[in-house]
Amino acid sequence: MELGFRYFFNQPFFKKIIIINIIVFLFPLVLNTFLFLFNLKQFSPINYFDLHPGIGDIIRSPWTLISYSFFHIDFFHIFWNMLILYVVCKHFLNFLTNKKLIEIYFYGALMGGLFFVISYNIFPVFKNAFSPLIGSSASVYAVLIFACSYMPNTRVNLIFFDIKLKYLGLFYVLLSLIQIPFSNAGGN
């Protein structure tokens, strides 16, 4: 076990975040599998960490302004977020420090959470909608857009092809805007 901890602590920040996100994603799945096998009531720890749009909810659970960003709804949600984070951060750390990456990642989560809460409280379309926020998309987008503005012409490899960061950032921004009218508004 010591080798595992040593490996973890010797990794750059972005790899630690990826590992933590994967563990947090797998924990409820494994837990509920054991609960199911022993015919016990399943529960979702996500409910204690997702971000609800109500101001009262935030006052009662202020940690959710950050904790929501460590949970994901399904495999593809975490896969794409972690892939983009990995691809961008490999290049990011060639230009900037781990400290700057940490700041951008967590400020992205905080600002994404605040933007979600404000949007759900001022736009009439969300008045009767209830959809808590989970996922690291805001943090990943913050890192991606920062990297795009800092090194827009850097080419990154996305599994089967290379693409300039500025086009990857543009694609993700457009994808998020297009998804607003659908069920996961704010989820990306």
| 107-110, Cβ contacts within 8 angstroms, sequence gap of 24 or more | 107/142, 108/138, 108/139, 108/140, 108/141, 108/142, 108/143, 109/65, 109/66, 109/68, 109/69, 109/136, 109/138, 109/139, 109/142, 110/65, 110/66
Q: Is residue 116 part of a domain?
A: yes
- Position 1 pLDDT exceeds 90: no
Number of domains in the chain: 1
Q: What's 41's domain CATH number?
A: 1.20.1540
Tell me the pTM.
Answer: 0.88
Would you state the structure tokens that stand for residue 29, as one six-digit string?
């799945």
Which pLDDT tens digit goes with each residue over 146-175?
999 999 999 998 888 899 999 999 999 999
> Which is more confident, 37 or 188?
37
Which pLDDT tens digit goes with each residue over 104-154?
999 999 999 999 999 999 999 888 877 899 999 999 999 999 999 999 999
Q: Which pLDDT score, from 0 to 100, does residue 144 have? A: 96
Burial class (CB in 10 A: 0-12, 13-18, 19+), 5: exposed
- Position 188 pLDDT exceeds 80: no
Nearest residue to 169 via CA among 92, 68, 65: 92
Q: Is residue 136 part of a domain?
A: yes
- Band of pLDDT at residue 183, cut at 50, 70 and 90: low
Q: Is residue 18 part of a domain?
A: yes
Domain span at residue 118 reads 2-179
Would you state the structure tokens that stand for residue 85, as one six-digit string?
């984070």
